[in-house]
Amino acid sequence: MRVEEGAELAPLTTMRVGGPAARLVTAETPDELVDAVREVDDADEPLLLLAGGSNLVVADAGFAGTVVRVATRGVTVESVDLCGGAMVRVAAGEPWDDLVAQAVLEGWSGIEALSGVPGTAGATPVQNVGAYGQEVAQTIASVRVWDRQDQRVHTFANADCRFTYRHSLFKATDRHVVLDVLFQLLPADLSQPVAYADLARQLGVAVGDRVPLKEAREAVLRQRRGRGMVLEPDDHDTWSCGSFFTNPVLAADDFAGLERRAADRLGVDGPVPPRFAAPEGHVKTSAAWLIDQAGFGKGYGLPGPAALSTKHTLAVTNRGDATAYDVVALAREVRDGVREAFGVTLVNEPVLVGLSL
């Protein structure tokens, strides 16, 4: 394990903000990862896990404890057959998009619509990462973790992970440290059915059609680049955590209230809130729509130091010299503005360390 004192955390995150860690430990094997976490726990010190840094905003004061950086690597094909599919075990620190690229190359269908998502494989089950009609819950067979409370390795089957929209058993708790994820992918030349209307239009197919895996990946990457959602060192629109807010999932009565407030604000013939069916009779709507209609358009906050992306209203971005305080202040302004306009409280997607909205 590599140990550094006072290491800067900002360069290790996609938002590029935050102060130093009192101590940074880089773990490159599962055993090193477990040993590092156990050492911190035995010393009863604060612990922060960091992998790709794509879903993390750290306070300007930094972290007064040990940050364990998950740098494990490895993709192991355990079996491939027509009945069980391709069973692929992936180390927690494996870069996610590298895995998607390999899956497309190998002819494993099921995660191609998640191309370009930043971060690591071990982070994907935590918030049930999803995009363009796919989410990892559809392909995860099991998740192997280190249980800090019981001090043992435990494997959770998919059904035990309690996956819901952008949530799982592992979110909002620091009990479980993901060691690796077993994916069950489908050996196929074609993608899963295209479920996102804009993507289908770009591909020239109908929603529900399948396309060659490579074409699906390239189309998703084009869509994400157009929204500033593929990391580019020279493009400040990509200095972000991706979507800063999750799409609200509302009870039917609450959505009806949103429709009434939208009509009052925008006129009865004005734009209406998007609606998508959600489990248990709920309705999912668009956070981006709410932000835009509340008066926070693309580029809001420019010239900076923090501003909404010029390509996508959901992304709070660092224009080059923003602090964590700047980022959270803008996010808070947007959240409060949406709540005042439409009575809906947006929930942040990234983890805030030493900060709150």
The maximal CA–CA distance of the chain, rounded, in angstroms, is 62
Q: Residue 309 has which token pair?
A: 């992306």
Name the band, by pLDDT with cuts 50, 70 and 90, for residue 347: very high
Please determine, for residue 18, whether its predicted confidence score (pLDDT) is greater than 90.
yes
Catalytically annotated residues: 166, 243, 349
What's residue 1's pLDDT?
A: 86
| b/e per residue 80-110 (b: at least 16 CB within 10 A) | eeeeebbbbbbbbbbebbebbbebbeeebbb
| b/e per residue 160-196 (b: at least 16 CB within 10 A) | ebebebbbbbbbeeeebbbbbbbbbbeebebbbebeb
Please determine, for residue 195, whether its predicted confidence score (pLDDT) is greater than 90.
yes
Q: For the structural domain made of 236-353, what CATH number should be given?
A: 3.90.78.10
With 0-12 / 13-18 / 19 or more C-beta atoms within 10 angstroms meaning exposed / middle / buried, residue 321 is exposed
State residue 20 phi and psi, 5-degree precision. -80, 165
Phi-psi sector, 74: left (phi>0), alpha (psi -120 to 50), beta? left
What gap in Å lies between CA 287 and CA 353, rounded to an integer? 23
For residues 325-350, average pLDDT: 97
What's residue 319's pLDDT?
A: 97
User: 75-226: which CATH architecture?
Assistant: 2-Layer Sandwich (3.30)
What gap in Å lies between CA 304 and CA 320, rounded to an integer? 8
Please determine, for residue 69, whether its predicted confidence score (pLDDT) is greater than 90.
yes
Q: Which residue has the tokens 């494997």?
A: 155
Please determine, for residue 83, whether its predicted confidence score (pLDDT) is greater than 90.
no
* Least reliable range by pLDDT among 17-21, 40-44, 81-85: 81-85
Tell me the CATH class for 2-70.
alpha beta
What is the domain partition of the chain in residue ranges?
A: 2-70, 75-226, 236-353
Per-residue pLDDT of 147-194, as tens digits, reads 999 999 999 999 999 999 889 999 989 999 999 999 999 999 999 999
What's residue 130's pLDDT?
A: 94
Please determine, for residue 47, whether its predicted confidence score (pLDDT) is greater than 90.
yes
Q: Residue 54 has which token pair?
A: 């794509």
State residue 2 phi and psi, 5-degree precision. -100, 130
Percent of the residues in the chain that have a pLDDT greater than 90, as a whole number = 96
Per-residue pLDDT of 211-246, as tens digits, reads 999 999 999 999 999 999 998 889 999 999 999 999
Q: Report the sign of the C-alpha dihedral through residues 141, 144, 145, 151, in that order.
A: positive
